[in-house]
Amino acid sequence: MTQITNNTQVDQTNQIDQLNQTGRRNSDIDVNSIELMFATLQNDLAKENRDAAKGKIEDIKKAQQEQKQISNAVVELRNAITGMKEDSNITADKIEHLNDVIKMCEGYGIKLGFDEKQLKAVENLTTAIKNADNGQIEVSKIPGINDIRSTLKNSEINYNTKHYPNYTNISTRDLFGVKSVGWKHVSVNDAQELIDNIRAKMNISVASINSAITSLQNKQETIGSDTQQEMLLIQDLMSKVSSYSQGAIGAINKSGDTLTAIVR
């Protein structure tokens, strides 16, 4: 009877030891799982901040490109008025890449002061040139052709070109509605010369140019200030990336130590 009791006690003790061992193993596995989850979270946060930093870097690149374009526009405007007085006027043909400069200024709400109708005539003729077929432009398809005719006439802009009237096939006369000869097209060269004639007639004061330069420079300074702020944000994001990455590595190492202890 005593022997049976002793055997029963031994079995119970063994069972308790087994339960304790199992509990320790389960506890180790739970800890290990939590560590891996934490590592995953840290890694996700590091990636999120890294992606955000990359986005900021792309924004800075675009801002720097914008600053460069503004700088080029300022240089072109300054070159156009070099040595001139505030109350003097300059013609549009003095400004290199006029259309690009005008569009940039307009994008920032800056008006150079050129005649809007003349600017529109230049824009529409430029579009017509781009859409020309074999060097010829169908007059009826020129955007705003009637407004162009009116602008040329009211502004007393010379519509003669080196091709007119000696050019026997295509003539700019059709732009003024001279239909008797039956011409329906103008050449790309004639259209370009018309653009040059319009620009030679367009004028703007030096004071207006200087005002535009000041506005562009102010915009450039604003972009530069914003860029500095973006760079500080990038530094903060990269600091977080480093912190989260270290946290992930630490959690993985801790998980590895736990696994090693389990194996042992």
Q: Is 39 helix (H, G, I), strand (E, B) or coil?
A: helix
What residues form DSSP beta bridges with 89? 205
**Long-range CB contact pairs, 161-165, < 8 A, 24+:** 161/189, 161/190, 161/193, 161/194, 161/197, 162/193, 163/187, 163/189, 163/190, 163/193, 164/190
pTM greater than 0.85: no
DSSP designation for 91: E
Confidence of residue 137 (pLDDT cuts 50, 70, 90): confident
* Span 67-112, pLDDT tens digits: 999 999 999 999 989 888 888 888 888 888 888 888 888 888 888 8
Residue with the two structure tokens 């890694």 = 43
Which of 258, 256, 252, 253 is closest to 38 using CA atoms?
252
Distant-in-sequence, close-in-space partners of 262: CB < 8 Å, separation ≥ 6 = 25, 28, 29, 32
Which of 86-90, 239-243, 252-256 shows the lowest mean pLDDT across its residues?
252-256
| Residue 12 pLDDT greater than 50, yes or no | no
* Span 15-60, pLDDT tens digits: 434 434 444 444 444 545 777 787 788 888 888 999 999 999 999 9
Q: What is the pLDDT of residue 215?
A: 94
C-alpha span between 77 and 157 (Å, rounded): 24
Q: What is the H or E stretch that residue 97 is in?
A: none
Q: What is the pLDDT of residue 8?
A: 43
Q: Mean pLDDT across the chain, nearest whole number?
A: 78
C-alpha span between 115 and 118 (Å, rounded): 5
Please give the biggest Cα pair distance in the chain: 137
Confidence of residue 113 (pLDDT cuts 50, 70, 90): confident
C-alpha span between 227 and 51 (Å, rounded): 18
Q: Contact 43/248 with Cβ under 8 angstroms? A: yes
Strands 185-187 and 89-91: unpaired
**Long-range CB contact pairs, 94-99, < 8 A, 24+:** 98/199, 99/123, 99/126
What residues form DSSP beta bridges with 90? 204
* Span 209-218, pLDDT tens digits: 999 999 999 9
